[in-house]
Every structure is written in C-alpha cells, then in structure tokens.
Amino acid sequence: MTKDYLLALDQGTTSSRALLFTPQGEIVASAQVPFPQHYPKPGWVEHDPMELLDSQLRAAADCVAKSGVCSGQIAAVGLANQRETALLWEKRTGKPVGNAIVWQCRRTAEFCTRLQQEGYAQAIRARTGLLPDAYFSGTKYRWLLDEIPGARARAERGELIGGTVDSWLLWNLTGGKTHRSDYANCSRTMLLDIHRRCWDEDLCQLLEVPRQILPEPVENSGLLGVVASNVPHLEALAGVPICGAAGDQQAALFGQGCFAPGQLKNTYGTGCFTLLNTGQTPVLSQNGLLTCIGWGLGGKTTYVLEGSVFNAGSSIQWLRDELGLIETAHQCDVLAESVPDNGGVYLVSAFTGLGAPHWDMYARGTLVGLTRGTTKAHICRATLEGIAYQTADLIAAMERDAGHPIPALRVDGGASVSDFMMQYQADLLGVPVERPDLVETTAWGAACLAGLGAGLWSGPEEIAGAGRHHTVYTPQTDRSKEYARWQRALDRAMAWEEEG
C-alpha cells in the first residue's frame, strides 16, 4: 500500500476545514465545520478553545470518511492556522484556562500604546520585525496571565502552558506529548528574535510572559509529532505523522509557489494578507510593513514582508449577518455588478482598527458618500472596492520598500472567487492579477510542507508546478480618481479617535 495522500488541517477564524490532497495538488475530499465567535465587549473577540478543537477534529474525520482513503495511505498531516490567536491550558490535563483571545481582538491596545510611548518600538521592531500592536500574541498572553484569576501564579509554578492555535492543535493531536510551534507562527508573537529564531528573554520580561509557558520553536517541515490513539473522532488516524505546519498566510505563500525572492501573493479571507518573499535576508520595512519568517526548511530561513487588512471577507459577513443586506456572499457580487459605479459611496472596514501600512488601532469603520439615492447595491460594491483599495495601499508600501514595482499579484482565499473584485484589483494596481484554479492554497501549502517533511519531495522546486493554472485579470480601466476619493474616506476613519 503506497502512502500517496496528504491531509491538510486548515484552522481558520470562523471555521475549521480539512482537505485531502494527492501529491499533484488534486483535492480528493474536503470538509468544513463552523464554530461560534464570542464578542464579550466592543472590540473584543474570543474563541472557546474546545469548540475550536472539536470543529477541527470533526472536519478531519469527515474529510477522511468522505474520501474512502484509509489511514495507511496518508503519508502525513500538515497544519495551517489562524495566527496570533493566543490561549493558555493546563499542562497536566490539557484543559483550557479561559477563552482564546483572537487575533482581531483589540483589548490590549492601551498597553501597546504605552510600549510605544515609553520608547520600546524600535527595539521590538529590530528583534521581531513587528510593531507594538494588539494584533500580536505577546500582549494577549500577558492579559490572560493577569486577568484570569490565579493564572500567573500557576504559570510560574509550571502548571500552565500556552501557545497559538498551531501549538494547541499539535498538543491535542499528539495526546499532550508535543509542545511546539513553527517558526512562521512564532514570528507573529512579538516575542521571537527572528534573526536567532528563539524566544527573546528581554522581550519576555518586558511583556511579562514567562519563557517556560511558550512552545519550542521548530522548522516548518519535518517530524513534528504523531497522531495519538486517543484523539476524539480521529482514532483511525493513530500513528500518522504530522510533518508540516505554518501560519495560514505563510502556508498560502508556499502553496502559491512563491519560493523565489520578489514573488508575492494576497489572500482574501476574513482578513486580507499580502506577503512578499525577500529570501534569506530579513528586510526591515520603512513603510509600515512587517518582517516575519516565511518558513524554515533544511537549516535555511526564508523571510517575508507582510501587510494585513484586518477586515476583508468579514466585511462581507457584516453585510450578511449584521445588516441583513444579503443572504449569501455571492449575492454581494451580483448586487455590486448590477450598478455602473459605487454612486459615490466608500466603505472603510476598520471595524477593529487598521493594519499596515497605517497601524491605527483606534480607527473605526466608516461609510461615507450616502445620499437618498444610495441602494444596497452601492453599499455592496463599496464593500468589495474597499477591500481592493486597502490591498492597493499595502502593495504601494511594498513597492516603496522593494524599490521597484511588482510585476504581478497572485491571489487566493475565499473572497478571491469574486471576478468583480479581482478585476477591480487589477485596474487599481495596473498589473495582472493571477488566480490559480486551486484557490485552496493555504491548505495546499500545509500539505506541501507535510509532504516535504515526509520525504515525498526532496525540495520545493519539485512541487513548484503542482496544481497551478491561473486565471489572469489584466488592467482595463484607470481607477486613480476613485482611489483618490478612497483616501479621503480613509482620512475620515482615522480621524475617529480625535473627533470622538
């Protein structure tokens, strides 16, 4: 029996997914299980760790059952996950200590502002490639340790450990035997020295996070652990090795085949994330971007520049779930294309602040240009255009850092299926936008890392062409006037704190 299949677990912000791939990038089966979001206060976002875990295990079990493939045919499991979401759990029992604080949560913004005011931003950036922001995991650990009764004392006694979602999944999949986290995820905590690829003791002290609670940083491909025999729903997968892991955005960059310096991709998911491969040299941005580890393979580390839009697909969910303007995400596309333009309406979806290149934790969502003639179609169009505008802001910053224009943009993620938005993105950027037929590049990237770790390929160059046949959107219209109006709307959103 040959082991020719790769199981990717793609744990996201609103749902957990599992996909079974062939080494050629063909999807054999897939499953998706949503789980609840919790909003205890304005600007706060939480997950119940057990709801999250159960959804991922059930998705994996459903996927394998649908495929008809037996565990003996699965070469390895790969993990991709929502990054920066932080949680604590008991070392002995594995029981979570409170809810996880989600990457979107802004509860630690005041502490991050204090770090900036006290002059720590430059040192943090030099070591971690990041800026002091509530987005990252480090300040979330601090909040959990301080605000959950007894947590800090228990952590100092060695009773609690913590991590991001990848380490939580790995811990549970291995029956509590493995407390590790890959370089890509570790580089998003504001605690990892990305040059030495280890936890920075000074930053751990500054953020008051005990070093002993953190997982061991490891490369993104190799034997990370083995599925235990007592994992709920996954008894049939006992003994299958876990050989790859990466934060979702780094996994997507890998899955897009962006192995060479200068290649970049944008993922249109709950958030929007643009990553540029800079090779084995970390580049510190001068334009509000972040420097992170893309992946570590075979003793070599690939670095990336990254910019993030905090609310992309989630703004479409807002139209559906909170405003009731649409019933499905696809309906947003249909309505947007039903009008010739946006009617002067612009949406800045800064519901949880603005990420790169603006980094305004206090900006808030803004809808401007409304008239009595505004319809829900105009608002839908403004929502999709707003995602494209924020991506254009990010790529303009990347071009300034790189010193040259980008030749093309590779795209993926659930919202990239919008033909209207992809065409609008190409018009804004003035370069081709390339979408693969396989839009599941995050899961495919995790599968590729697992396949490398399991020895299916000897290096990335052997998988560079697998599963990629692009639909190309070429620029057709000059959008510079609309872009200028968007900048005026952006100014309104960023003035909220001052005026409020």
Report how far apart, in Å, the C-alpha atoms of 481 and of each of 64, 239, 367, 484, 488 are: 50, 58, 18, 5, 11
Segment 46-51 shows an average pLDDT of: 97
Cis peptide before 282 (omega within 30 of 0): no
Contacts of 404 (CB under 8 A, 6+ apart): none
Nearest C-alpha neighbor of 353 from the set 393, 301, 311: 311
Beta strands in 130-215 (DSSP E): 160-164, 180-182, 192-193, 198-199
Whole-number Å distance between alpha carbons of 52 and 131: 28
pLDDT of residue 500: 45
Cβ neighbours of 168 (radius 10 Å) = 29
Proportion of the chain above pLDDT 90, given as a percent: 75
pLDDT band, very low/low/confident/very high, at 434 (cuts 50, 70, 90): very high
User: What's the pLDDT score for residue 466?
Assistant: 54
Question: Mean pLDDT for the chain?
Answer: 92
Tokens in use for 200?
């920075």
pLDDT score of 465 more than 70: no
Which are the contacts of 487, defined by CB distance < 8 A and separation ≥ 6? Answer: none
Q: Which pLDDT score is estimated for 464?
A: 62
The pLDDT of 265-294, averaged and rounded, is 90
Distances (CA, A) of 396 to 347, 400, 404, 406, 409: 20, 6, 10, 9, 12
**Cβ-based neighbours of 398, under 8 Å, separated by 6 or more:** 264, 274, 276, 287, 289, 305, 307, 406
Among the ranges given (237-246, 308-317, 330-339, 462-471), the one the predictor scored with the smallest mean pLDDT: 462-471
Residue 134 has pLDDT above 70, yes or no: yes
| Whole-number Å distance between alpha carbons of 423 and 409 | 12
Q: Token match 């008894």: residue? A: 235
pLDDT in tens, 63-113: 999 998 888 899 999 999 999 999 999 999 999 999 999 998 989 999 999
Between CA 348 and CA 451 the distance in angstroms is 40
pLDDT of 232? 92
Percent residues over pLDDT 70 in the chain:
97
pLDDT of residue 498: 52
Give residue limits of the domains in the chain.
5-250
5-250, what's its fold?
Answer: Nucleotidyltransferase; domain 5 (3.30.420)
Name the residue among 249, 369, 388, 247 with its Cα closest to residue 315: 388
* Selected residue with higher pLDDT from 438 and 246: 246
Mean pLDDT calculated for residue range 112-129? 94
CB 446 within 8 A of CB 80: yes
Give the tokens for residue 110.
């005041």
Residue 356 pLDDT > 80: no
Do residues 360 and 496 touch, judged by C-beta distance below 8 A? no
Distance between CA atoms of residues 276 and 283, nearest Å: 10
Name the one residue in this structure whose structure tokens are 């905090």: 310
pLDDT at 497: 60
Average pLDDT over residues 197-206: 96
Average the pLDDT over 340-361 and give the result: 88
Q: Where are the alpha helices (DSSP H) in 49-150?
A: 49-67, 109-117, 121-128, 137-147
Q: For the purposes of burial, counting CB atoms within 10 Å of the CB of 475, is it exposed (0-12), middle (13-18) or buried (19 or more)?
A: middle
- Whether 407 has a pLDDT exceeding 90, the answer reads no
Q: pLDDT tens digit string along 5-24?
A: 999 999 998 899 999 999 88
Contact indicator for 127, 200 with CB cutoff of 8 Å: yes
Residue 277 near residue 304 (C-beta atoms within 8 A) = yes
